[in-house]
Structure 1
Amino acid sequence: MAETLIVILHGVGGRGAHLQPLADMIGAELPGARFALPDAPNRYDWDDSGRQWFSVKDITPRNRPARLRAARAAFDQVLATTIAGHGFGDRPDRVALVGFSQGAIMAMDAVMSGRFRPQALAALSGRLVKSATGLPGIPVMLSHGLDDPVIPARDAIAAAAHWGKQGCPVDLHLWTGLGHWFDARVATTTAAFLRRALIL
Structure 2
Amino acid sequence: MSRPLIVALHGVGSSARDMAVALAPLERFAEVLALDGLDPFDGGGAGRQWFSVAGVTEADRPLRVAEALPSLVDRLDRLAKDRSLKRDDLVLLGFSQGAIMTLAMVAQGLHPGRAVAIAGRLAAPVVPTEERLASLLLVHDRADRVMPSALSAEAAARLSAAGHLVDLLLTDGIGHGIGFPTTSAVADWLTTTDSSRNEFHSDKRIMM
Residue 81 of structure 1 is matched in structure 2 by: 78
Question: 1:183 corresponds to which letter in structure 2?
Answer: G
Task: State the Cα deviation string for residues 9-38 of structure 1 (Å, max 9, x = none).
Answer: 11111111111133321122x1xx322111
Residue 101 of structure 1 is matched in structure 2 by: 96
Residue 47 of structure 1 is matched in structure 2 by: 44
Please give the residue correspondences for 1:124-139 in structure 2 after superposition, counting only pairs within 5 Å: 124-135=118-129, 137-139=133-135
Gaps of 5+ in 2: 196-208
Indicate conservation of the 8 Å contact 1:141/1:193, yes or no: yes
Residue 172 of structure 1 is matched in structure 2 by: 168
Residue 3 of structure 1 is matched in structure 2 by: 3
Residue 16 of structure 1 is matched in structure 2 by: 16
Please give the residue correspondences for 1:25-44 in structure 2 after superposition, counting only pairs within 5 Å: 25-28=25-28, 30=29, 33-44=30-41
Aligned partner (choices 184, 189, 194) of residue 198 of structure 1: 194
Answer yes or no: is 1:157 the counterpart of 2:153: yes
What's the Cα RMSD here?
Answer: 1.8
Question: 2:179 corresponds to which letter in structure 1?
Answer: D
User: Is the alpha carbon distance of 1:3 and 1:178 closer, same or farther for their aligned partners in structure 2, counting shifts above 3 Å?
Assistant: closer
What is the CA distance between 1:111 and its match in structure 2?
1.7
DSSP 3-state at the match of 1:174:
strand
User: Is the alpha carbon distance of 1:58 and 1:71 closer, same or farther for their aligned partners in structure 2, counting shifts above 3 Å?
Assistant: same
Which structure is higher in RCO with an 8 Å CA cutoff and minimum separation 6? 1
Indicate conservation of the 8 Å contact 2:8/2:92, yes or no: yes
Indicate conservation of the 8 Å contact 1:41/1:78, yes or no: no
Indicate conservation of the 8 Å contact 1:113/1:132, yes or no: yes
What TM-score comes out, normalization by structure 2 length?
A: 0.86
What is the CA distance between 1:82 and its match in structure 2?
2.4
- For 1:25 and 1:67, how far apart are their aligned partners in 2? 32
Indicate conservation of the 8 Å contact 1:40/1:78, yes or no: no
User: How many residues were matched structurally?
Assistant: 193
Question: 1:78 corresponds to which letter in structure 2?
Answer: R
Return structure 1 stretches of 4+ with deviation > 3 angstroms.
Answer: 134-137
- For 2:61 and 2:166, how far apart are their aligned partners in 1? 24
What is the CA distance between 1:45 and its match in structure 2?
0.2
- For 1:134 and 1:105, how far apart are their aligned partners in 2? 19
Question: 1:116 corresponds to which letter in structure 2?
Answer: H
Give the percent of matched residue pairs that are identical in Structure 1 and Structure 2.
31
Task: State the Cα deviation string for residues 138-177 of structure 1 (Å, max 9, x = none).
Answer: 2111111111111111101101111110112221111121
Answer yes or no: is 1:115 the counterpart of 2:110: yes
- For 2:112 and 2:75, how far apart are their aligned partners in 1? 15
